[in-house]
């Protein structure tokens, strides 16, 4: 069986990176982002990247690191608030942005990974998102044609995996990681723990190993919280 396990992010990325490539990056805000792989891409200095990711990180965190080093040419995202450097580059015309509705982005990756080059959706009909896209009427309702996304590389963050790449996510850190994994010609996953084959229940796998080409342990993680909200304990 082909070995999927790599010692670190840099070696897992060896031979995969090239200037101008398209990358799908999992995560929602700073939740479930492939931090080690982002750091290694920054260190590799790969340029002119097109990155499909729901968000663009925040200043100095997540994909914000690749924005700071000007490695990103274009973002395909649904929401890019909370990021001053992004805003500066965007307003200066240094960074191209394709705004894509969140559900359309998830479906574009799911479709791309499933060999579906396009699909029709009601999302965005009659809005700027529909500009230049084919409109088709089904059962009296208008839909627009959206393209599937196939990326040169998918980078994702999981919780646990076995050595075959079968992978489990944790809570809302699953988000875009699952569809984006399938959209990459190559998918590299970083996880908190790798167990021997047989160590995970086959009925509980969220992402079958067929979608995971390379695998690293990225622990220990210092997971960031964007908005810490708590409630007070009411004394009994």
Partner 1 sequence: MVWTRDDMAARAAKELRDGYYVNLGIGIPTLVANHIPAGVEVTLQSENGMLGIGPFPYAGEEDPDLINAGKQTISELPQSVYFSSADSFAMIRGGHIDLTVLGAMEVAENGDIANWMIPGKMIKGMGGAMDLVAGVKRIIVVMEHTSKNGDPKFISACTLPLTGKNVVDMVITDLAVFQRPDHHSPFRLIELAPGVTAEEVAAKTTAKYEALATA
Contact residues: partner 1, CB under 8 A? 28-32, 54, 77-81, 87, 90-91, 97, 99, 101-107, 109-110, 121-129, 159, 169-179, 206, 223-233
Q: Which residues contact 207 (CB under 8 A, 6 or more apart)?
A: 158, 166, 167, 168, 169, 177, 178, 181, 189
> Based on CB atoms, which residue is closest to partner 1, 81 or 198?
81
The token pair at 34 is: 């492939």
Question: Smaller CB distance to partner 1: residue 42 or 224?
Answer: 224
Instruction: Tell me whether residue 73 or residue 224 sits nearer to partner 1 (CB atom).
Output: 224
- Cis bond upstream, residue 220 (ω within 30): yes
**Least distance from partner 1 to the Cβ atom of residue 1, Å:** 27
Nearer to partner 1, 5 or 123 (CB): 123
C-beta of 227: minimal distance to partner 1 in Å?
Answer: 4
Query: What's the min distance (Å) between Cβ of 135 and partner 1?
Result: 12
Considering beta carbons, is residue 164 or 173 the nearer one to partner 1?
Answer: 173
According to DSSP, residue 206 is labeled S
DSSP string for 101-151: -HHHHHHHHHHHHTT--EEEESTTTTSGGGTTS-EEEETTEEEEEEE---E
Distance CA 68, CA 46 (A): 13
Token pair recorded at residue 147: 């393209």
Cα-based distances in Å from 118 to 23, 104, 141, 158, 176: 19, 11, 18, 28, 19
| C-alpha to C-alpha distance for 114 and 50, rounded to whole angstroms | 21
Contact 60, 83 (CB under 8 A): no
C-beta closer to partner 1: residue 5 or 78: 78
CB of 151 to partner 1, least distance (A): 15
Min dist CB 18 to partner 1, Å, is: 27
Give me the least distance between CB of 34 and partner 1, in Å please: 14
């Amino acid at each position: 069986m082909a070995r999927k396990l790599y010692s670190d992010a840099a070696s897992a990325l060896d031979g995969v990176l090239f200037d101008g490539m398209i990358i799908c990056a999992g995560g929602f805000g700073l939740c479930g982002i492939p931090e080690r792989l982002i750091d290694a891409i920054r260190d590799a200095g790969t340029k002119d990247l097109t990155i499909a990711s729901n968000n663009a990180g925040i200043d100095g965190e997540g994909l914000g690191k690749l924005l700071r080093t000007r490695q990103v040419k274009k973002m395909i995202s649904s929401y890019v608030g909370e990021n001053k450097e992004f805003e500066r580059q965007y307003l200066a015309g240094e960074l191209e942005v394709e705004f894509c509705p969140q559900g359309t982005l998830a479906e574009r990756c799911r479709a791309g990974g499933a060999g579906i080059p396009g699909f029709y959706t009601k999302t965005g009909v009659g809005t700027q998102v529909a500009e230049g896209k084919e409109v088709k009427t089904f059962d009296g309702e208008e839909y627009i044609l959206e393209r599937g996304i196939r990326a040169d590389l998918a980078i994702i963050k999981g919780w646990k995996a076995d050595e075959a790449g079968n992978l489990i996510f944790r809570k809302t850190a699953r988000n875009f990681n699952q569809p984006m994994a399938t959209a990459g010609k190559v998918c590299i996953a970083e996880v908190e723990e790798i167990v021997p084959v047989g160590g995970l229940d086959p009925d509980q796998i969220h992402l079958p190993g067929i979608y995971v080409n390379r695998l690293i342990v990225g622990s220990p993680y210092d997971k960031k919280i964007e908005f810490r909200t708590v409630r007070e304990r009411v004394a009994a």
